[in-house]
């Protein structure tokens, strides 16, 4: 394309040159008239094409683009190519959008697109059914006007969308919905909504089944183990030659009882979402109790120490937390050979409070760590069985901690030992004033 500035420059130069010759041959007036006429014609030509361009831009149609002349021919050719590219891209985007809309409409899950102000931009038919929306009427409406469930409003405000929320449908309480917000391109959000009524029913059936079976097994087992103990205690009732068999039977019934108790605890924990009581925990008493239990379980085989910061406590369910801490302490003892060290610590880490149990035991290979809190997951089945484990301990711990919005951190090196830490979030931590803290005010250490 020729440069419009250069062509104007050469034209102006040519005109000035011609006018100078005219000045010399026909006088200044003639030269001035010719110069002015040429400039006016030049301007008129450009004004004409600008007018044409303006007219065309009001209805930009590829087939009606003017041809132009001179530099304008190049300008119109450029506009034509750009317009063609734009039309092609627009058609591609629009067809991709159509395909996306069709695909999203065919999804079994509800999908709602929200803008940065949480107003509805689009939703698919399942979302209309599940949430009672009407795309025609509700586009542009704030989602909070239409989904008026308090749990959802809280979820939206808290802005932590890492996990979905479950809630009963406000339109039909028999339906359970799982909803999750997914932020995208800046402040827009996708609201995904799924009907999980059937999954919930199955889950409830599974929980009830385990709870019922455990309950039904508990009574006969108590009878069997009771009679076994009575027989073993009765003089002459068990011949010496069979005493060891009775001992084994008693040990196995004990294991089964332990397993049933753990299963019942788990199903109880699973049936309630948040901690039942929420009181300030007397940490000093909890830790002393744990120390006593640890010492009796270890039976003098391990070095057990406790270091506790008396200035902090947490709120929660004392019994549940005692069970969680006790599981960690019992594991540390069971998986540490005689002579090992076990350190219990209660301290502050930033805004959080931490209860940790460090042992110098057998340790755990890295690949197992993520799976330890699964039900019945055991690194070494026979070792767990030998030490009276059920494979449910850490599952129970995880459930209790989830109910307390807390988490479990596990660090371990094979053959060196492990550290299991319970981290309580800021909102559960209670910082005690120095006068309320224990008398000596310093860190408590017990051995
Ligand atoms: P179990 O009743 O078998 O101990 P848990 O759920 O308490 O079940 O623990 C799961 C598994 O994690 C155990 O079987 C064991 O392999 C491993 N584990 C737990 N705590 C420790 C620990 N302190 N040291 C080594 N391994 C551990």
Task: State the residue for tokens 């070494």.
Answer: 380
User: What gap in Å lies between CA 378 and CA 386, rounded to an integer?
Assistant: 12
At residue 114, the 3 state secondary structure works out as strand
| Pocket probe mutation, ligand 1, options 323, 377, 384, max atoms within 8 Å of Cβ | 384
Is 340 close to ligand 1, i.e. is its CB under 6 Å away?
Answer: no
For residues 242 and 170, give the distance between their C-alpha atoms in angstroms, rounded to a whole number: 65
Please check whether residue 410 is in contact with residue 394, taking contact to mean a CB–CB distance below 8 angstroms: no
In angstroms, what is the span from residue 392 Cα to ligand 1's centroid?
9
pTM exceeding 0.75: no
Q: Residue 295 has which token pair?
A: 């010492």
Report d(CA 381, CA 324) in Å as an integer: 21
Pocket test for ligand 1, best of 334, 367, 378, 392 (most atoms within 8 A of CB): 378
Give CA–CA dist 423/100, Å, rounded: 43
> What per-residue confidence (pLDDT) applies to 185?
84
CB 332 near ligand 1, within 6 Å:
yes
Q: What does pLDDT average to in each consecutive run of 10 residues of the chain (447 residues)? A: 71 90 91 91 91 89 84 88 91 91 89 93 92 92 90 90 90 91 90 94 90 90 91 87 89 90 88 71 94 94 94 93 96 94 95 96 94 91 79 94 94 95 95 58 44
| Listed residue (397, 404, 402, 401) closest to 427, CA to CA | 404
Query: Counting atoms of ligand 1 from 1, which one is nearest the CA of 359?
Result: 23
- Ligand 1 probe mutation, 393, 395, 416, 421, most atoms within 8 A of CB: 393
Q: What is the pLDDT of residue 442?
A: 41
Instruction: Evaluate: CB of 364 within 6 angstroms of ligand 1.
Output: yes
User: Which atom of ligand 1 is nearest to 361's Cα?
Assistant: 24
Q: Which pLDDT value is given to residue 3?
A: 66
What burial letters (b/e) apply to 253-274, b meaning 16+ CB within 10 Å? beebbebbebbbbbbebbeeee
Ligand 1 test: best mutation among 335, 341, 342, most atoms within 8 Å of CB? 335
CB count in 10 Å sphere of residue 348: 14
Phi and psi, residue 310, nearest 5° = -75, -10
* pLDDT in the model for residue 348: 94
pLDDT at 417: 95
Q: Is 411 in the pocket of ligand 1 (CB under 6 A)?
A: no
Which phi and psi angles does 428 have, rounded to 5°? -100, -15
- Residue 124 beta carbon below 6 angstroms from any ligand 1 atom: no
264-267: long-range contacts, CB 8 A cutoff, minimum separation 24: 264/211, 264/214, 264/215, 264/218, 265/323, 265/392, 265/396, 266/210, 266/375, 266/392, 266/395, 266/396, 266/399, 267/207, 267/208, 267/210, 267/211, 267/214
**For residue 331, what are the contacts with CB-CB under 8 A and spacing of at least 6?**
357, 389, 393, 394, 420
End-to-end CA gap in the chain: 90
Establish whether residue 309 lines the binding site of ligand 1, counting it when its CB lies within 6 angstroms of any ligand atom: no
Q: What are phi and psi of 96, to 5 degrees?
A: -65, -40
Query: What pLDDT is recorded for position 434?
Result: 57
| Residue 408 Cα to ligand 1 middle (Å) | 14
């Amino acid at each position: 394309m020729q440069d419009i500035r250069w062509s104007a420059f050469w034209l102006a130069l040519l005109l000035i040159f011609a006018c100078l010759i005219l000045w010399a041959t026909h006088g200044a007036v003639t030269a001035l008239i010719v110069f002015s006429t040429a400039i006016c014609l030049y301007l008129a030509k450009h004004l004409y094409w600008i007018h044409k361009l303006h007219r065309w831009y009001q209805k930009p149609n590829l087939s009606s683009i003017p041809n132009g002349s001179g530099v304008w021919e190049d300008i119109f050719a450029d506009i034509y190519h750009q317009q063609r590219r734009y039309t092609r891209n627009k058609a591609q985007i629009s067809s991709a959008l159509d395909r996306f809309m069709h695909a999203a409409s065919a999804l079994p899950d509800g999908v709602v697109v929200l803008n940065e102000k949480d107003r509805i931009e689009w939703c698919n038919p399942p979302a209309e059914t599940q949430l009672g929306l009407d795309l025609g009427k509700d586009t542009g409406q704030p989602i909070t006007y239409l989904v008026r469930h308090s749990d959802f409003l809280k979820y939206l405000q808290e802005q932590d969308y890492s996990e979905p929320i479950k809630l009963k449908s406000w339109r039909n309480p028999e339906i359970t919905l799982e909803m999750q917000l997914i932020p995208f391109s800046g402040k827009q959000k996708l609201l995904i909504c799924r009907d999980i009524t059937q999954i919930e029913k199955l889950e409830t059936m599974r929980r009830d089944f385990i709870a019922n079976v455990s309950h039904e097994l508990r009574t006969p087992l108590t009878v069997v183990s009771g009679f076994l103990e009575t027989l073993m205690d009765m003089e002459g009732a068990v011949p010496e030659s069979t005493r060891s068999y009775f001992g084994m039977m008693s040990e196995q019934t004990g294991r089964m009882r332990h397993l049933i108790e753990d299963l019942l605890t788990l199903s109880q924990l699973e049936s309630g979402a948040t901690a039942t009581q929420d009181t300030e925990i007397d940490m000093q008493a909890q830790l002393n109790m744990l120390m006593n239990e640890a010492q009796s379980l270890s039976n003098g085989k391990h070095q057990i120490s406790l270091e506790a910061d008396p200035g902090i406590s947490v709120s929660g369910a004392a019994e549940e937390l005692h069970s969680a801490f006790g599981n960690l302490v019992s594991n540390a003892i069971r998986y540490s050979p005689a002579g090992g060290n076990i350190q219990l610590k209660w301290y502050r880490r930033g805004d959080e409070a931490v209860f940790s149990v460090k042992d110098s035991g057998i340790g755990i290979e890295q690949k197992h760590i993520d799976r330890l809190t699964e039900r019945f997951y055991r690194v070494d089945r026979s070792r767990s069985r030998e030490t009276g484990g059920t494979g449910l301990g850490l599952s129970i711990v995880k459930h209790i901690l989830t109910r307390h919005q807390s988490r479990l951190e596990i660090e371990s090196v094979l053959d060196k030992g492990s550290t299991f830490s319970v981290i309580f979030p800021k909102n559960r931590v209670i910082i005690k004033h120095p006068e309320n803290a224990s008398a000596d005010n310093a860190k408590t250490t017990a051995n």
